């Protein structure tokens, strides 16, 4: 054998050895689909997580959800809190090779606030973006905003040149008549590139070898397939056809654990599931009490709260996979969760409260509940109906698919509900969102305050505190005010917080993965043997 030949052979063997050692494909199945690659089309956790492999924001969120640097290396705030200066990372390239500069940030700031974007709240409408130099951007505000960049990890930066060259400088509008380039193609700065994308069928991500950061993952490729059917998704994991699934249905968790080739990662999710009351109408829409609204009486709300046996819901309905909660925000997101405790389960006390309020024989009320939105949502409501029956309240349950449910109970349906179940995760991971959106008064029709406060709970004291919380930049003071506000709403029995449902991911034993509490499946932290 000549030297040349043996050299060739050696190189070939080496190449085969290398590619066998390096080619790592992770196959991932989620119950939901990846519909559009345009990062401003729909603001929803799963989609944001998918696109977070391709696109990046100015900030990032770590495994513990702490805000860290992203495309911006660092930032500083002026003393009056009205000017934020962001120092952009140098040497970052988009997947098509273009350099990332301040122009792209300015462009993305316009695009994300344009008509058709579902992320308009990411950036205040009146914030001005000023380019200082190619790698410095000033954001000028009209009022201080300590949580300005709290959601910027999912405000993904797009390339100006690429978007303009492909005629996709505006977000894909809902009523578009031609498909937009950005909904089928992506050009980000992130750890993975889109190799192919068939909407709703299959998306292939390839590792971006030119990424500015040293990758934590060891993958060369991610193949994402939606699998809508629970049984099939679990079967695909157990048979080893996929490596990661989300979610594992509660009833299958034990089977996944027992299978030997996969395990179930579980943990409390940030979403809080709660019950709400219509306390704004003078007469309930669905009740036999006429001429007055029993839920306006705090004692009735307290009675309902005390009648709910949360432990029974946890053990029977949720099979242990829920964390009962006394707060309307996930305990992970506030520094003093232990200071709030649920009132004791006490049906007799609840009956007395009802009698004091003038309903010794209870009353009848309609309840709205989705049955395909949250984990076991329909069953939770059925359990609540049974528990309330014990204090003499007859609840007429209307459990319905989410399409119908949200059409009925949200503002667009004129808040057409008397008693309902809902889940809420503050998009900003901050209490202000909860206090403003679901605890704020609805009395000003021109304000977006309280738009998701379906029952119209209103306490002006809370509103005043909420406004202060928005602009307070001193963290300790701010946390105190938040605690004050939650103390008021808790004492008002504004809602009945139930629990945080559990996250449940199925992961093959050959894969190591970090589970983040906001249920974002981020595979750039995954390693595969």
Residues of this chain that interact with other proteins (CB under 8 A) are: 29, 33, 35-36, 38, 41-44, 115, 118, 120-121, 172-180, 183-184, 198-202, 225-229, 231-233, 235-236, 238-241, 372, 401-407, 410-413, 424, 427, 433, 437, 448, 451-452
Interatomic CA distance for residues 342 and 354, integer angstroms: 19
Residue 7: Cβ within 10 Å count: 11
Handedness of CA 461, 462, 465, 467 (dihedral sign): negative
Quick check: 244 and 30 in contact, CB under 8 A?
no
Q: Given the complex with other proteins, which of 29 and 387 has the nearer CB atom?
A: 29
Rounded CA-CA distance 296/282 in Å is: 8
To the nearest whole angstrom, how small is the minimum distance from the Cβ of residue 145 to other proteins?
17
If the CB atoms of residues 47 and 266 are measured against other proteins, the closer one turns out to be 47
- The residue among 2 and 178 lying less far from other proteins, judged by its C-beta, is 178
Rounded CA-CA distance 189/169 in Å is: 17
Which C-beta is closer to other proteins: that of 202 or that of 316?
202
Residues facing 507 on adjacent strands: 244, 263
Number of residues written out for the chain: 529
Q: How far is the CB of 44 from other proteins (least distance, A)?
A: 5
With respect to other proteins, which residue has the nearer C-beta, 226 or 294? 226
CB 121 to other proteins: min, Å: 7
Hey, is 256 helix, strand or coil?
A: helix
Tell me the closest approach of the beta carbon of residue 381 to other proteins, in angstroms.
18
Q: In the complex with other proteins, which residue's Cβ is closer, 208 or 501?
A: 501
Does residue 269 contact residue 515 with C-beta atoms inside 8 Å? Answer: no
Q: In the complex, what is the shortest distance from the CB of residue 69 to other proteins, in angstroms, rounded to a whole number?
A: 26
Nearer to other proteins (CB atom), residue 168 or residue 189: 168
How far is the C-alpha of 43 from the C-alpha of 280, rounded, in Å? 29
Q: How far is CA 528 from CA 20, 504, 520, 523, in A?
A: 13, 19, 19, 10
Residue 207 C-beta: closest distance to other proteins, Å = 21
* Pairing outcome for strands 322-324 and 495-508: antiparallel
CB of 491 to other proteins, least distance (A): 26
* Residue 252 DSSP label: G
């Amino acid at each position: 054998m000549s030297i040349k030949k043996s050299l060739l052979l050696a190189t070939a063997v080496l190449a085969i050895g290398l590619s066998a050692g390096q080619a790592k494909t992770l196959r991932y199945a989620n119950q939901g689909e990846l519909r559009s690659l345009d990062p401003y089309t729909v603001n929803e956790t799963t989609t944001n997580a998918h696109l977070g492999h391709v696109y990046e924001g100015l900030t990032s969120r770590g495994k513990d959800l702490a805000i860290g640097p992203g495309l911006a290396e660092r930032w500083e705030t002026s003393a009056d809190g009205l000017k934020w200066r962001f120092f952009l990372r140098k040497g970052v390239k988009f997947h098509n090779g273009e350099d990332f500069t301040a122009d792209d940030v300015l462009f993305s700031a316009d695009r994300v606030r344009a008509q058709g974007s579902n992320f308009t709240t990411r950036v205040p409408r009146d914030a001005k973006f000023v380019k200082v130099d190619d790698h410095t951007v000033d954001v000028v505000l009209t009022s201080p905003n300590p949580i300005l960049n709290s959601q910027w990890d999912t405000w993904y930066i797009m390339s100006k040149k690429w978007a303009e060259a492909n005629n996709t400088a505006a977000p894909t509008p809902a009523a578009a008549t031609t498909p937009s380039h950005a909904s089928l193609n992506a050009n980000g700065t992130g750890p993975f590139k889109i190799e192919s994308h068939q909407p709703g069928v299959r998306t292939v991500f390839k590792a971006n070898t030119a990424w500015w950061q040293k990758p934590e993952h060891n993958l060369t490729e991610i193949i994402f397939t939606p699998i809508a059917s629970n049984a099939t998704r679990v079967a695909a994991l157990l048979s080893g056809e996929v490596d990661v699934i989300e979610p594992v249905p509660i009833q299958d968790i034990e089977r996944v654990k027992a299978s030997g080739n996969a395990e179930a990662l579980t943990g409390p999710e940030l979403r809080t599931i709660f019950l709400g009351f219509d306390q704004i109408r003078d007469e309930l829409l669905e009740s036999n009490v006429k001429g007055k609204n029993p839920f306006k009486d705090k004692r009735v709300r307290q009675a309902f709260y005390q009648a709910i046996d949360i432990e029974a819901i946890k053990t029977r309905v949720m099979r242990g996979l829920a964390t009962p909660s006394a707060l309307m925000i996930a305990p992970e997101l506030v520094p003093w969760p232990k200071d709030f405790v649920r009132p004791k389960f006490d049906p007799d006390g609840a009956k007395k409260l009802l009698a004091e309020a003038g309903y010794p024989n209870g009353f009848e009320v309609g309840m709205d509940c989705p049955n395909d939105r949250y984990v076991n949502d329909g069953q939770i409501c059925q359990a609540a109906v049974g528990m309330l029956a014990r204090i003499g309240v007859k609840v007429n349950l209307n459990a319905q698919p989410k399409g119908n449910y949200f059409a009925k109970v949200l503002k667009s349906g004129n808040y057409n509900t008397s008693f309902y179940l809902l889940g809420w995760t503050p998009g900003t991971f901050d209490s202000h969102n909860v206090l403003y959106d679901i605890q704020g008064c609805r009395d000003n029709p021109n304000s977006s305050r309280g738009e998701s406060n379906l029952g119209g709970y209103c306490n002006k004291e809370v509103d005043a505190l909420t406004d202060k919380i928005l602009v307070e930049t001193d963290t300790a003071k701010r946390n105190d005010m938040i605690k004050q506000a939650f103390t008021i709403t808790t004492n008002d029995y504004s809602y009945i917080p139930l629990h945080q449902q559990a996250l449940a991911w199925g992961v093959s034993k050959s894969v190591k993965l970090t589970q983040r509490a906001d249920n974002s499946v981020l595979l750039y932290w995954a390693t595969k043997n």
